[in-house]
Amino acid sequence: MIIIITIIFLIIYIIFRVKFETKIKHKRTQVIIEVILIFLIIPICINLLMPIFQIKQLEKEEQFRIAVMDSIVKNKMNSEDIEELIFYKYKNIFESSEEEAKLWVNNFLKTLPDKKLELNSLSKKSEEYIDKLNLEWKPTCELVLKQLDNRINELIKQNENIKIEKENYNLIINVDSNKYKAQKIRIVEFPNGNSIFINFEPARIQRGILIEGIEIVFFEQLKNGYTCAVFSINLDQQLFQINPRNKRYESIDCRTNKNPMEDDNFRNKISEAINKIISSVYLLE
């Protein structure tokens, strides 16, 4: 490629030089024009020829791919032969990757004591963050559960065959030091065989960073075994949402950036969603 560019450049350069030398007699002007020609002609030559060589390189790549595929289809090459061919083609890249890995491991091991200290500091930061979020989010979670529990307790006064099971929950966990699992924190069974249950997904903190917010998911479970998530309540750093997961619940869609405990509309939507799921499951025979 360099040879071709050089030849083309020389041809163009000679043509222009002869043309200008016959017209321009001043030596200094000739030198300036020659310099300008050099800086103009070289990029032009490269830009003209580059697409041609790129096309040729792509053609070589395609020929290589076709040759490999043909060999595989015709059983001319076993897996070891294919690996050897691929390694030979990309040898420089593979060797570069190995060197990069060695450098990274050496640097990583050298800085390991500092990284452990940093990790311990981040773990402490996680615990402080958990305390802060507990103060902010616990009231909203308790409100959601209280809205359900109060309604079910009133229904039980009228029908003792309604059963409710309650479980405690972890609001936020540090995934670096605690096992994570979703928690089924409420199960309500009605006399008609239908039920409601709530899955609680705690917020997750890792190394001082909130990686997932809280998700409280409400499910309808019919006596025939059909189970459906109908809506969820999500608490995150700057956004609180009630998300419909079933078209029958589209009217409860709501989101706010305010503290839910101070947002009347958001609290009303929580009540509407809980009223809707209880009436839906209770009435369906």
- Per-residue pLDDT tens digits for 22-58: 555 566 665 666 666 666 666 666 666 666 666 666 6
pTM (predicted TM-score) = 0.61
The predicted pLDDT at position 95 comes to 67
Q: How many CA atoms lie within 13 A of 250 on its CB side?
A: 2
pLDDT band for position 106 (cuts 50, 70, 90):
confident
Residue 61 half-sphere exposure, CB side, CA atoms within 13 Å? Answer: 7
CA distance 41 to 164: 85
Give the rounded distance of the alpha carbon of 96 from its chain centre: 29
Predicted confidence at residue 190, as pLDDT, reads 95
pLDDT at 265 over 90: yes
Mean pLDDT over residues 163-178, rounded? 87
Max mean pLDDT among 1-5, 62-66, 196-200, 236-240 falls in 196-200
For the chain, what are the domain ranges?
2-77, 125-283
How far apart are the C-alpha atoms of 181 and 161, rounded to whole Å?
Answer: 31
* Residue 110: pLDDT band with limits 50, 70, 90: confident
What is the per-residue burial (b if ≥16 Cβ within 10 Å, else e) of 241-263?
bbbbeeeebeebebebeeebeeb
- The number of beta carbons lying within 10 Å of the beta carbon of residue 110 is 9
